[in-house]
Chains A and B, each alone.
Chain A
Amino acid sequence: MFRSHVLICGGTGCTSSGSQQVAAKLEEEIKRQGLEKEVAVVKTGCHGLCALGPIMIVYPEAVLYSMVKAEDIPEIVEEHLLKGRVVTRLVYQETVSAEGIKSLNDTDFYKKQHRIALRNCGVINPENIEEYIGTGGYEALGKVLTEMTPDEVIQVILDSGLRGRGGAGFPTGLKWRFASGNRGNVQKYVCCNADEGDPGAFMDRSVLEGDPHVVLEAMAIAGYAIGASQGYIYVRAEYPIAVERLKIAIAQAREYGLLGKDIFGSGFDFDIDLRLGAGAFVCGEETALMTSIEGNRGEPRPRPPFPAVKGLFEKPTILNNVETYANIPQIILNGPEWFASMGTEKSKGTKVFALGGKIHNTGLVEIPMGTTLRTIIEEIGGGIPNGKKFKAAQTGGPSGGCIPAEQMDVPIDYDNLIAIGSMMGSGGLIVMDEDTCMVDIAKFFLEFTVDESCGKCTPCRIGTKRLYEMLDKISKGKGTLEDLDKMEELCYHIKENSLCGLGQSAPNPVLSTLRFFRDEYVAHVVEKRCPAGVCKDLLTYQILADKCRGCTLCAKTCPADAITGKVKEPHVIDPAKCLKCGACIEKCRFGAIVKR
C-alpha cells in the first residue's frame, strides 16, 4: 500500500516540456531512497496548466510543483517524499501564501472551475482501466444495461439538456432519439468525432489522453440506447499519445469484457475500432468524417439524408464529439436533474475552453455554462500580461467571431454567443490585447479556411480566396471603402451558398470584426494606418531626433543598412531601405525608435 502518490503529467504539453525525463528521474530517486514500496508514481493526463509544465502533484497533501526539472527531483524526493518538508521554492506559486500551502482548489485558476468532462484528467493513470473503475468508471454502463431500457436512457439524456460540444450545440438526446427506430433489425453505428480541427482547441485531445475510458463507456451507452453494436472513433493521426492511449484502453476494455460480447451478462454486444484521420479540417464535418471512415476522400455530402437515417455505410448513425461523450456517464449516475441544475436556461452543464493568446494562465478550463467572459479572463485566466488592455476574445476558431470588451459581461452559452455574432465552436478561446490588429486576425483565419476548403463547391473554394485577397489588400493600405461593403456582401453570399459548415461559417471572423471593429478597417483604408501597429506595410520606423544619443547601435544592427548617422548625432532611417524587421527598436536603449 502506498502512503503517497506522485502524479506526473503525461499530456502532450508536459511531455514536450520534458515530463518523461522527470518521471524517469523520479522513479530512480525514489528507488535510491528506498521509498518504492511507499510512494507510487502515477502518469496522468493533462491538468490544464500546460503552460506551467511539467506539472507534478504530490498526494495526499495535494502540493503542486510546476515547471519541474529533472535536476529538482533529488531535492523533492529527499525533502518532501522522505522527510515531509514541502520544497516551497518549486511549488506552483499561486498556492503559496503566508499561512503555508493553499489547496489547489482555492487558486484563482481552479476555484471557479467545475470539472465534469475533465474530472479524471490529471487524476488517474489513463493506461490502467482499474484506476478508471476505482473512480466509478463503467458503473453507468452497468446501470444502463441492467436497470434501464434504451428509451429510458435516451429520456435521461434528453432531460439533462446536454447539447453537442463539437460546435453546433444540437441536443444530444434528440440526436439519439432520431437514430433509435427499428432497434435490433438494422445495422447501426456510433461514431466519435475526435478530429479536433480548430487550431486553438485541445480539450478533446486532453480527454483522450487523460481519461480514454470515459469515451469508450459513453459510446457503449449510446450503442445500447440506439441499438448499435459497433463504434468508430475518428481521431487525427497528429495526436500520437491520444491514439496510443485509446489503443491501450480498447484492449483493456476488451480484456475485462467491458467491450465485446454479452457485456455484464446482459446480452448486449458492443465493440469499438479506431480510424485515423490525416488532419484535414473539413474531415471534422460529420458527413465528410463518415465518408472518410468509409475509405473515401473526406468530402462533405448533402444533407438530408441526415446521418441518423443514412450515415456511415448508409446505415443509421450517430456522431458525437469527445467532450459530449465525456459528460454521459456522470449524467447517468447522478441523474439528469443534477446536470440540468448547472448552466443557463438553454445550455446546461459545463464547457471546456482552451485559453490561449494574451493571457496569464493559458491552459484548459472547465466552467459552468453562463460564466462571463470577464470571469474567465480576469479571474481564472489571471488577466492580460504586461499591463496591456483587453481588446477582444475569439471563440469558435475559424468558424467563430470576436467578442469585444463591451460584451465581456454576457453569460457565455450557445445562444448568447450566436446573438453576438460568434459561436461556441469546440471551445478555443483566444484572448487579444491592444497590440492585436483585427484585420490581421480576420486574415489569419481566412488564410486557414482557404487552405482547408475541400474545393467541392464554388462559393467556398473561390469565395474564401477572394475574401482573403480583399483582406490582404486592406492590410497593405490599398483597400477602398467600397471594398468593405463588397466584402460584407461576399460574406453573406458564401454563407448562404456553401454546401457544408466550413464554407457556411468561414466568413464569420470577417463579419464579426467588421461589426465590432469597423473603425479599425476604416483606419487601414482611409488613413493608411494600422492602429495596433501590426500590418507591416502600413508601418514606418522612425528615430526621434531629440531622444537619439547617436550611440550607433541601431545602425550596426540593421540588416538592411537603412540607418545612417554620425557618432553622437541623431541617426535617420531610410524608409526606402527599411525592411520593417524591428531589430533596431529592440536594440535602442534610449527609446528613440518608434513604429507608427
Chain B
Amino acid sequence: MKSLEELKAIRERMQGQVGLRSEDSNNTRVVVGMATCGIASGARPVLTTLVDEVQKRKLNNISVTQTGCIGLCQYEPIVEVMEPGKDKVTYIKMTPEKAIEVLEQHLIRGQIVEKYTLNAENL
C-alpha cells in the first residue's frame, strides 16, 4: 500500500458489500414480492436487475430484499419502496425495464412513478 488513495479505493469498492450488514434505519428498503406466484410471473429478473443497478450506481443507502406473498397475485411482480418516514409505495406488474424507471425516477430523483403504482389501476 503506497498511498491513502489506494486504501480508499478498496474501501469504496467494499463498502456496498459490508454496508449491507448493518441495520441502518435510514436506509430506503426496496422489497420484491417473491412468493411462488411472483417467481412464476417473473420476479427474479426484476430483483436481480434492481440489485445490480443499485450496486452499479453506488446507491449505498438502498437495500433490496425480497419478501413472501403480498396477497395480490394478479398484480405480481410487485415492488414496494419504503423510505424512512414516508408512506409505502407499491409498484405492480414490474419488469426489469420498468424497475429501472422506478429506480431512476423514484429512488434517485424522489418522484413517484404514478403510472405503475397500485393506486393507478382501479382496484
Contact = CB atoms under 8 A, between A and B. Distances in A.
Interface of A: 1-5, 7, 37-38, 40, 59-62, 82-85, 103-105, 123-124, 130-131, 133-136, 138-139, 142, 146, 256-258, 262-265
B23 A62 contact: yes
B84 interface: no
Contacts, number: 105
A134 B34 CA distance: 30
Contact of B2 (A4, A38, A265): A265
B120 interface: no
Interface stretch (B7-15, B87-95, B99-107, B111-119): B7-15
Interface string B10-33: 110111111111010001010111
Given A5-B21, A123-B21, 17 more contacts: A1-B16, A2-B51, A3-B51, A5-B17, A38-B51, A40-B17, A59-B20, A60-B63, A60-B65, A61-B65, A83-B66, A85-B35, A103-B23, A136-B11, A139-B7, A262-B2, A264-B3
Interface residues of B, number: 39
Nearest to B32: A84
Contacts of A83: 34-36, 39, 66, 68
A326 B33 CA distance: 42
B47 interface: yes
Nearest to A104: B23
Interface in B70-95: none
Contacts of B47: 3, 38
- Most-contacted residue by chain B among A1, A4, A258 (CB, 10 A): A1
B20 A60 contact: yes
B11 A134 contact: yes
8 contacts: A4-B20, A7-B21, A60-B63, A84-B66, A84-B68, A133-B10, A264-B4, A265-B3
A138 B14 contact: no
B70 to A, nearest CB: 10
B1 interface: yes
A4 B55 CA distance: 12
A133 B11 contact: yes
Contacts of B68: 83-85
Contact of A3 (B11, B18, B65): B65
* A-B pairs with lowest CB-CB distance, top 6: A134-B14, A84-B66, A1-B55, A85-B68, A3-B51, A257-B1
A136 B21 CA distance: 14
Interface in B36-56: 36, 39, 47-48, 51-52, 54-56
Nearest to B31: A84
Contacts of A262: 2
Nearest to A105: B23
Contacts of B33: 84
B64 A130 contact: no
A82 B38 CA distance: 11
Given A1-B51, A59-B21, A82-B34, A131 B14 contact: yes
A542 B103 CA distance: 77
Contacts of A133: 7, 10-11, 14
Contacts of A263: 1
B55 to A, nearest CB: 4
- Most-contacted residue by chain B among A104, A133, A135, A265 (CB, 10 A): A133
Contact of A138 (B2, B7, B27): B7
